[in-house]
Amino acid sequence: EVQLEESGGGLVQPGGSLRLSCAASGFTFSSHWMYWVRQAPGKGLVWVSRISSDGSNTNYADSVKGRFTISRDNAKNTLFLQMNGLRAEDTAVYYCARGCVAAACVSLLWGQGTLVTVSS
């Protein structure tokens, strides 16, 4: 069974930083693209970033480009999202999700999410 467990969320002031982690189990982590998707309170799903199975390719939403960095440690089956320069509009539940083995494929299995609140 695929299991994804996010951690690292919390309350942070505008301009601050947070590092989210996602511990994966139940599948061959090093074979899959991995995603971060966020959902602001009462809003829909918004893609944030993704990383290839070996970590060599990354993509970012324009809204986070230059501020967020996705990375992974395949030896530890863990996905990360380093978030710098946080803004109020980054407030959301952040979900880690398992993607496909193929690149142009969005069929996601989701973690339970971690809440990030950006407020003074």
Partner 1 sequence: QSVLTQPPSVSASPGQRVTISCSGSSSNIGSIYVSWYQQFPGTAPKLLIYDNSKRYSGIPDRFSGSKSGTSATLDITGLQTGDEADYYCGSWDTSLSAAVFGGGTKLTVL
What is the contact surface with partner 1 in residues (CB under 8 A)?
Answer: 35, 37, 44-47, 50, 59, 61, 95, 104-113
Q: What is the spatial distance between Cα 7 and Cα 19, in angstroms, rounded to a whole number?
A: 9
| Total length of the chain | 120
Give least dist CB 103 to partner 1, A.
Answer: 8
Compute the least distance from the CB of residue 68 to partner 1, in Å: 14
- Least Å distance, CB 56 to partner 1, is 15
DSSP 95: E
Task: State which residue, 23 or 109, has the beta carbon closest to partner 1.
Answer: 109
Identify whether the C-beta of residue 80 lies closer than 8 Å to the C-beta of residue 19.
yes
Please identify, using beta-carbon distances, which residue of 112 and 119 lies nearer to partner 1.
112
Residue 23 or residue 47: which is nearer to partner 1 going by CB? 47
Strand partners, 117: 11
Cα–Cα distance, 57 to 97 (Å, whole number): 16
